[in-house]
């Protein structure tokens, strides 16, 4: 099957690897390919025999299936750019963490280009599951696409033939999941500053028996450091979703700010990360919390 991957970040590369491993043709395009930031992408594509395109249009021209996995803020722009080059009747699977409103707008662009838009909501972290990550599909073409996704190895199911339902499910879940990350970073770092982290964690263990707070806190810190920028964009879309439901998105908006704040610290090299390269993963959240506290102390003294 001819497949185009729009966005060649973490998700795009994983899908590229898994699809090529079973013999499908994969072409990818990412805006970063036009700069030095695209060097790791080019190396990865060469290693896994994924063809790189020069533009959105070049990537999708011969594709039977287009998979969009860009940052949330680029959801509509990516769909609009791809619509100009789509072959008639091709499927456009939108995996981006965007609001129902953004998905509806993206669907309009794809329909005008002659494609069949299907929204996809990725319901948990991709890396552990890879192509088998649980995926909710939505829209009038979701049922038609499902058999092809099954053949490709996806773990998808149709949530609704109405656009917006799958993404609303994802966004509402994100208020909790990404919010918990932000709360843990804030709570645990403050507790570390006051020297009460052990007492606090002991209390949490009593309230939530069987939950390994040290392990989860380390994981949450690492995910925010590595993917805070992308998570912040997703949470801004989540805030839009909550606002469209009639609620003021205090939690979602605050989570977006905390995730962006962590991304800013990571980009500044606080966690041993150079821009565009992985940071050094550590086995204890306390190391990262201490770095944050030291940075805050230095900033205050300045």
Phi-psi region of 30 (alpha: psi -120 to 50; beta: other; left: phi over 0): beta
Q: What is the pLDDT of residues 166-206, one digit of tens each?
A: 999 999 999 999 999 999 999 999 999 999 999 999 999 99
Q: Where are the domains of the chain?
A: 2-162, 167-301
32's CB contacts (< 8 A; 6+ apart) are 8, 38, 41
- Tell the CATH topology of 2-162: Rossmann fold (3.40.50)
Q: Over 60: is that where the pLDDT of 275 sits? A: no
pTM (2 d.p.): 0.86
Percent of the chain with pLDDT strictly greater than 70: 97
Percent of the chain with pLDDT strictly greater than 90: 91
Task: State residue 272's pLDDT score.
Answer: 75
Nearest CA among 242, 208, 274 for reference residue 37? 274
124's CB contacts (< 8 A; 6+ apart) are 133, 134
Q: What is the pLDDT of residues 121-134, one digit of tens each?
A: 999 989 999 999 99
Confidence of residue 280 (pLDDT cuts 50, 70, 90): low
Q: What is the pLDDT of residues 47-101, one digit of tens each?
A: 999 999 999 999 999 999 999 999 999 999 999 999 999 999 999 999 999 999 9
| Residues pairing with 26 in the sheet | 3
CATH fold match for the domains 2-162 and 167-301: no
Q: Length of the chain, please?
A: 302
Contact (Cβ atoms closer than 8 angstroms) between residue 154 and residue 132: yes
Tokens of 51: 């063809």
**167-301 CATH pick, 3.40.1710.10, 3.30.460.10, 3.30.499.10, 1.10.1040.10:** 1.10.1040.10
- Packing angle, helices 250-267 and 213-244, rounded to 10: 120
More confident residue, 49 or 281: 49
Task: State residue 274's pLDDT score.
Answer: 46
Task: State residue 221's pLDDT score.
Answer: 96
3-class SS shares of the chain: helix, strand, coil, % to 5: 60, 15, 25
């Amino acid at each position: 099957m001819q497949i185009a991957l729009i966005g060649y970040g973490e998700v795009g590369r994983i899908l590229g690897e898994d699809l090529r491993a079973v013999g499908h043709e994969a072409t990818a395009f990412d805006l970063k390919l036009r700069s030095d930031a695209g060097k790791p992408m080019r190396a990865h594509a060469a290693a896994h025999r994924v063809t790189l395109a020069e533009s959105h249009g070049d990537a999708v021209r011969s594709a039977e299936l287009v998979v969009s996995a860009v940052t949330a803020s680029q959801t509509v722009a990516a769909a609009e750019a791809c619509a100009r080059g789509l072959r008639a009747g091709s499927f456009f699977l939108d995996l981006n963490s965007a609001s129902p409103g953004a998905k509806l707008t993206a669907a309009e662009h794809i329909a005008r280009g002659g494609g069949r838009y299907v929204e996809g909501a990725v319901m948990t972290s991709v890396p552990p599951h890879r192509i088998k990550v649980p995926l909710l599909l939505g829209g009038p073409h979701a049922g038609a696409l499902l058999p092809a996704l099954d053949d490709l190895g996806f773990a998808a199911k149709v949530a609704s033939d109405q656009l917006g339902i799958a993404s609303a499910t994802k966004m509402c879940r994100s208020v909790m999941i990404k919010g918990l990350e932000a709360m843990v970073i804030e709570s645990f770092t403050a507790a570390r500053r006051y020297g009460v982290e052990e007492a606090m964690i002991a209390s949490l263990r009593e309230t939530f028996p069987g939950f390994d707070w040290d392990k989860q806190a380390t994981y949450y810190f690492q995910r925010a450091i590595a993917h805070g920028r992308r998570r912040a964009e997703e949470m801004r879309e989540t805030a839009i979703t909550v606002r469209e439901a009639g609620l003021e998105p205090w939690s979602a908006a605050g989570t977006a700010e905390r995730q962006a704040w962590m991304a800013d610290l990571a980009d500044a090299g606080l966690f041993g990360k150079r821009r565009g390269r992985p940071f050094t993963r550590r086995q204890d959240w306390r190391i990262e919390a201490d770095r944050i506290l030291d940075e805050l102390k230095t900033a205050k003294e300045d």
